[in-house]
Amino acid sequence: MATEQERIDLIAALASQRELFRITLRGIDDEQARLRTTASELTLGGLLHHLVNCERHWVTVIEERDETAELDISTFDGEYVLADEETVAGLLAEWETVAEATANLIRSEASLDTSIPTPTTPWTPDRVWWTVRSTVLHILREITHHSGHADIIREALDGANTTYQRV
């Protein structure tokens, strides 16, 4: 059974990791956010786009608990791309809204131990059940994982990173 402190800690951990990711975006414009700076296709804007979508997706999975859900991989083509009509500022504002929905879900969930069905995928065709807690921790893992990518991309862009910002 989740304690109130566990809920507070989960919300704080997510907020802290989001802030680390945001630091990598300080002072860059939309054009810079679209630049590839490594051999990878990843960009700062593309990672931001993915994290907003990823967190929204998993909150929806928790809320809907759809035992027939299948992940639509046809939507993955633009998953790691900052689209022409998107801006860093716009996605950051959207992420704030998503983050508040995540925090509200954590606060209101009857039990973080509740099992929920995850969507099937081509790589996991059998239904997998995670607890709400595991799903929230998966969101945290995604943010931390991609914060590392973002730090490397930003450092290659202009030498700045989460501990050093050029002024």
Q: What is the 3-state secondary structure (H, E, C) of the chain?
A: CCCHHHHHHHHHHHHHHHHHHHHCCCCCCHHHHCCCCCCCCCCHHHHHHHHHHHHHHHHHHHHHCCCCCECCHHHHHHCCCCCCCCCHHHHHHHHHHHHHHHHHHHHHCCCCCCEEEECECCCCCCCEEEEHHHHHHHHHHHHHHHHHHHHHHHHHHHCCCCCCCCC
Per-residue pLDDT at 2? 74
d(CA 2, CA 9): 11
Per-residue pLDDT at 16? 97
* Closest-CA residue to 79 (of 43, 60, 59, 53): 53
Bridge partners, residue 116, by sequence = 130
Per-residue pLDDT at 164? 67
Per-residue pLDDT at 1? 72
Alpha-carbon distances of 137 from 22, 111, 127, 161, rounded to whole Å: 19, 15, 19, 25
What are the structure tokens assigned to 73, written together?
A: 């991989």
d(CA 55, CA 88): 17
Summarised one tens digit per residue, pLDDT across range 48-91 is 999 999 999 999 999 999 999 999 888 888 999 999 999 999 99
Residue stretches of the chain with pLDDT short of 50: none
Bridge partners, residue 115, by sequence = 131
* Closest-CA residue to 165 (of 34, 20, 41): 20
Whole-prediction pTM: 0.94
Per-residue pLDDT at 61? 97
User: Please, what's the largest Cα pairwise distance for the chain?
Assistant: 51
Q: Provide CATH code, domain 4-158.
A: 1.20.120.450
